[in-house]
Chains A and B, each alone.
Chain A
Amino acid sequence: MSHQDMNRDDDLGLEQRLRAALRPVDPGAGFAGGVMARIATERPGNVRTFRARAAASWGGFALAASVVVALLLAHQQQMRRTEQGLEARRQLIEALRVTGDKLDLASRMVNAPPPAPNSSDSGA
């Protein structure tokens, strides 16, 4: 018998022994009764029926949908405010530009040299 054959025999022997050692065993006689008693004593709110679970999932869905809608509305409002801000900024810049032009014109008029006297007046 080769070494490999011996190892395979060892494995088979050990596997058989493990199967024998791990044979399923029964729990105590009152096991199922204990489970049913625990189910019965649980508060009704804890053991939820299929309908209750379905209602809870619909509630969860509705809540999630509300949150999404609220977020969308908040986002839209934020966008509107940003646009208003940008428009106000644009108008302010325009107003400053017009004011600057006017001041520039006024400054030029103030600082302009007085008109030279007319030559025909000097001969009179």
Chain B
Amino acid sequence: MSGDQSCTSGELLSRAISGDTAAFGTLVRRHQRSVYSLALRMLADRHQAEDLAQEVFLQLYRSLSRVASEQHLAFWLRRVTMHRAIDRMRREPRYLTTPLAEAGLVAGESADADPILEHRLRGLLEELAPAARAVVILRYQEDLDPVEIGRTLKMPVNTVKSHLKRSLSQLREALTASGAGGGGDRPAPPQPLPSGQRTLV
């Protein structure tokens, strides 16, 4: 329905709750990128990520009446996706580490200047423990702050901060060791952050 595109997620949510499946379809299209990307970065497997993302939307369909608002919807989707992904990783340990060659298959479609470094970073990210990986993904993909991450993962804020600190230092060391830190011993100097993006610690 073309009219759905101009509706707010809140309006679509109300219509979906009252049984409008077209409105629900629009909601899916609106949030599929975020949900799928979270699942993809956690599982590092396109098919598994797509399957998990579909399950999340099915669960949303069954739980629509419990979703109170647009903000709650985004929070709910992130939380369910991350918890389902972590559960799947713990059930099937093959997701815990992914060979770098396979990790390259799930690279983003970016026209970035350094795709090799991005590929390497994603590979290193897949070597992190599930909880630490989830924290880093929510921080840098979804741009959530530690408090929001803590609420999403039901984790104390201090644990979130320590996961972030440890993961960043682990990633930095691994990049430096592999010489992928921007062509030298240290990463290249940072560019100014785009507006709306927050720095970490």
Contacts and interface: CB of A to CB of B under 8 A. Distances in A.
Given A11-B168, A17-B121, A21-B118, A31 B193 contact: no
Interface string A70-104: 00000000000000000000000000000000000
B187 A49 contact: no
B92 to A, nearest CB: 21
Interface in A39-91: 39, 42, 46-50, 53
B12 interface: no
B28 to A, nearest CB: 5
A6 B49 CA distance: 37
A11 B200 CA distance: 8
Interface in B65-113: 65, 108-110, 112
Contacts of A20: 110, 112, 114, 118
Interface residues of A, number: 35
Contacts of A27: 32-33, 36, 49-50, 53
A31 B32 contact: yes
A35 B58 contact: yes
Interface residues of B, number: 58
Contacts of B57: 35
Nearest to B120: A21
Contacts of B122: 21-22
A23 B54 contact: no
Contact of A15 (B19, B37, B199): B199
